Structure 1
């Protein structure tokens, strides 16, 4: 009889413990978000210094095409805008940020390449851009070959400057810095002769009020840049969900609205929305 009372008491303790666990829920979360969506927060990697694409404004808010795309995708994954934690991911650290689990996904002018696909998975593409040059309004640089013996600026970790030097101007003097904002400042001061990266990024800078009328795009299509959303290698579930979200964004015209809102003021002649998995070489 005594043994039976102990067993009953133990059972009561177990029931109470299970009830408390069920009521309290599971507080554990991974650093990016819960894989199924709907967690308290989701961390998304973006650029902080790219007007028209990913920009952190003085009031702490964020704007740009990448921001709009990522916000739409996050909603499809189960997260409202106020559940997003934006994380700055510079070009040189994007693969590492995904591998470490710092973010759930990255939408940061992230061109899909075979080399990068060895380290991360990509959803998309969601935008086709082209490498171009930004020069001063009165510059005589009209072709990439004109950059021989000229100073060319780009961002550390980006392939743009190396592409120019390898394919068009082997004598170009490369200057690599941490952000595109530094390149634009160097171009304005005359420390460099040109800035190279994607035309979408360059158009955003050229359209800023403080640079109005000072710069121009050379209008060259030196490469095709298929922007994808980076996901941790092997996370096919998230990749598939993002692809579905991107298809929905194009289908309901939210993609077109985001393009007009972010690139319209710069008169950027964007390509049509690419099809998922269609990589233009």
Structure 2
């Protein structure tokens, strides 16, 4: 069992030797690790009807947990909506987060990151019969664009496309429903996320235009926990070198029509 993260069952011991936030994180169970991820992103991190978790992010999170000494049965999954990720980490409610979490300078002021473990870019999803949205340059004609509160794509639209009507929801699945129901004209987020939704409902949606950003997905953790960050980076480097990363990508995102990219180099900043 890893030495960096202990949980004690007895409340008195918790109070004596552990910060309150860490005790809350594991619920007093020393044989558990709490991992934050999305619950509604097919191909990346999805909570299935039977309660199991699946997706590329989930496989990355499981691989890292295994290298930290935890079995799949010892993982507690916690939903981590985009707007709540920093709070979940800072309050000690999770040990780390693997949730399409772009590494940015602003976020690094609040949390630390291991990785990156995937590079992608922001793109657009429209209904399959749409003909007037062909990419980012066709957005500013009174189009209503949906994204998620607290996400990097939403902030990019605010900063670089002020003429776009931006509708924000808490989850991308809510944006997909709004797009399906003609409440919005397009959904914007990272291409790998959009591909998962397109594959989930064949023939209903399509991705248009070229990606217009570069996003570096990292694993978020509490600021200053250099030991844990180092262990996670070690695990990611092993996953990238032993073929497990490529297998996970092809299994989860290959059916969406995305070619397996070259894995990124882990940044030991």
By how many angstroms is 1:270 displaced? 4.2
- Judging changes above 3 Å, is the alpha-carbon distance between structure 1 residues 233 and 205 closer, same or farther for their aligned structure 2 residues? same
Match of 1:159 among 152, 155, 162: 152
In the TM superposition, residue 171 of structure 1 has moved relative to its aligned partner by 1.6
Q: Per-residue deviation at 1:192?
A: 0.4
The two structures, once aligned, show a CA RMSD in angstroms of 2.0
Name the structure 2 match of 1:277: 267
Match 2:48 to one of 47, 57, 68: 57
Equivalent position of 2:79 in the other structure = 88
The number of equivalent residue pairs is 249
Q: Pairwise mapping of residues 1-281 of structure 1 onto structure 2 (< 5 A)?
A: 28=14, 30-32=23-25, 39-139=30-130, 140-148=132-140, 149-167=142-160, 169-208=161-200, 211-277=201-267
SS at match of 1:207: helix
How far apart in 2 are the matches of 1:254 and 1:155? 30
Tell me by how many angstroms 1:260 deviates. Answer: 0.6
**Deviation, structure 1 residue 217:** 0.6
- Cα distance in 1 between the residues matched to 2:213 and 2:52: 32
User: How far apart, CA to CA, are the structure 1 residues paired with 2:13 and 2:198?
Assistant: 46
Task: Return the TM-score normalized by structure 2.
Answer: 0.88
Q: Deviations over 1:60-100 (max 9, x none)?
A: 00001010000000000010000000000111110111111
Aligned structure 1 segments of 4 or more residues deviating by more than 4 angstroms: 26-29
Measure how far apart 1:221 and its partner are: 1.4
Give the TM-score of the pair, scaled to structure 1. Answer: 0.84
Q: Distance in 2 between matches of 1:52 and 1:171?
A: 32
Segments of structure 2 that go 5 or more residues without pairing to the other structure are: 1-9
Once the two structures are superposed, residues 189-209 of structure 1 have per-residue CA deviations (whole angstroms, 9 ceiling, x without a partner) of 11100000000100000000x
SS at match of 2:212: coil
